[in-house]
Structure 1
């Protein structure tokens, strides 16, 4: 075979290899874990597809990284196992950055500063933390609200604490009177109470905590810097503010973490 023919054959093989590899790269979707019943952060619609504030965020990140996402619904506690084991590339579920979590997982920069909501039956006389004394309290297992409540058991003086595997079960027990109050993310509670079947519940009061929500990833993930850079770009070009207004009905505060680019967190502060 002549040198020219060898060269052409080599080029053909190279081109074939490149074409063969292209679909593999395109199919290499980011694996996202999510708690599927957490509106407006993430939830399944009537078609069975995920949507929500954080779903829009990871969709946008994937587009900027020239890839796609595949979201898997998991029990809330399973989200932490999934990241630790590398089963997923990232997790979304209104997750607070905490010192304890940073020991085993990594987080992107935050995009929301949260507060706790204390829910009770409509017309309740519960109006402050002092009113929790002697009450039966519930929240979601392994969540930031649960940690906050347990750390303040003596201070709050509640009668008992119940740990739940889902928001639906938590609010069902609140409606039935098995617990007196439910403590959870205030945005999620307010969204839930706009539904007709939840009209007998209300947010009695809120507790500003300053905790910050972000995307959780396996410790020192190879994707971490790219995710963080994409979030910074979204904050700078107004995309994050647009997503925020779509789901919360108002523009984020000008100096909030929603619009302020930040580095990858090394602490919860």
Structure 2
């Protein structure tokens, strides 16, 4: 091989390495709990789909970047942003004052509620009906925090923490627990594929769903600005209706541009 040929090959390899590095730097690193439809769900081929997946994909496009979504256990999502391994995480995450101490959040795009999942005919329709019952929730989730804060009102016999929604709902279906408290939309979606389970009632908490990012991330204001633009130009409403089956309410957080929140109220 001639010297010229070797130099050409070496230069080509260097350019390829630089291109690969540049491509990796352009990627928006997103962490997601992989089994949380319709917000996000990882398919058998490893791809993600869902309402929040479409949101981050659109944001990345408007930033001129690609998106790389990696699966994490729910509790690991908080470590991913705190350690800088993820630029943002999605998973119908509720803004709380406690979380804002260590993380940053974008403006909210959904006002959520907690659903009480039970077996059909259980007669568990409200927080009061959890009295004396064995109840399940996802560890460190807003649902678990809410139940702990309202233990005196609920009067449940035991609160069991789960790492995955699948395990929690399997235990509910098999009678190992009597009720679960989790995101209402997610429960209704899951119960379409699970016989014998229903959402007995909803707890209106006023919780606001948003994307979580590392504390004071340099990308925060830019990402928040794109969310505002998506609300203003109708993109957010279109995605919401596509995944949740109804148009968002007029004046709701789904269509109202907001600043980066400094408190759990979203203000």
Structure 2 length-normalised TM: 0.91
Q: Please tell me whether the aligned partners of residues 127 and 153 of structure 2 are also in contact (alpha carbons under 8 angstroms).
A: no
Q: Which residue of the partner structure matches residue 93 of structure 2?
A: 95
Task: Tell me how far apart the structure 1 counterparts of residues 255 and 227 of structure 2 sit (CA, whole Å).
Answer: 10
Task: Tell me how far apart the structure 2 counterparts of residues 25 and 251 of structure 1 sit (CA, whole Å).
Answer: 39
Q: Which residue of the partner structure matches residue 215 of structure 2?
A: 219
Q: How does 1:227-266 map to 2 (within 5 A)?
A: 227-266=223-262
Q: Which residue of the partner structure matches residue 69 of structure 2?
A: 71
Q: How does 1:47-86 map to 2 (within 5 A)?
A: 47-86=45-84
Tell me the CA shift for residue 26 of structure 1: 3.9
Name the stretch that deviates more: 26-35 or 240-249.
26-35
Q: Which residue of the partner structure matches residue 170 of structure 1?
A: 168
Larger radius of gyration: 1
Q: Which residue of the partner structure matches residue 6 of structure 1?
A: none
Tell me the CA shift for residue 227 of structure 1: 0.5
Task: Tell me how far apart the structure 2 counterparts of residues 251 and 165 of structure 1 sit (CA, whole Å).
Answer: 32
Question: RMSD in angstroms over aligned alpha carbons?
Answer: 1.6
Task: Tell me how far apart the structure 1 counterparts of residues 218 and 196 of structure 2 sit (CA, whole Å).
Answer: 46
> What is the number of equivalent residue pairs in this alignment?
251
Structure 1 residues 100-148: Cα deviation after superposition (integer angstroms, max 9, x where no partner) = 0000000000000000000100122112222111011110000000000
Tell me the CA shift for residue 25 of structure 1: 3.7
Q: How does 1:1-269 map to 2 (within 5 A)?
A: 24-28=21-25, 29-195=27-193, 198-269=194-265
Unaligned segments of structure 2, at least 5 residues: 1-14
Task: Say which SS state the counterpart of residue 241 (structure 1) adopts.
Answer: helix
Task: Tell me how far apart the structure 2 counterparts of residues 67 and 107 of structure 1 sit (CA, whole Å).
Answer: 20
Tell me the CA shift for residue 90 of structure 1: 0.4
Task: Tell me how far apart the structure 1 counterparts of residues 188 and 118 of structure 2 sit (CA, whole Å).
Answer: 12
Distance 1:225 1:123, change over 3 A: same
Name the stretch that deviates more: 65-74 or 43-52.
43-52
Task: Tell me how far apart the structure 2 counterparts of residues 88 and 207 of structure 1 sit (CA, whole Å).
Answer: 31
Task: Tell me how far apart the structure 2 counterparts of residues 156 and 23 of structure 1 sit (CA, whole Å).
Answer: 54
Tell me the CA shift for residue 44 of structure 1: 1.1
Task: Tell me how far apart the structure 2 counterparts of residues 222 and 74 of structure 1 sit (CA, whole Å).
Answer: 23
Unaligned segments of structure 1, at least 5 residues: 1-17
Tell me the CA shift for residue 45 of structure 1: 1.9
Structure 1 length-normalised TM: 0.90
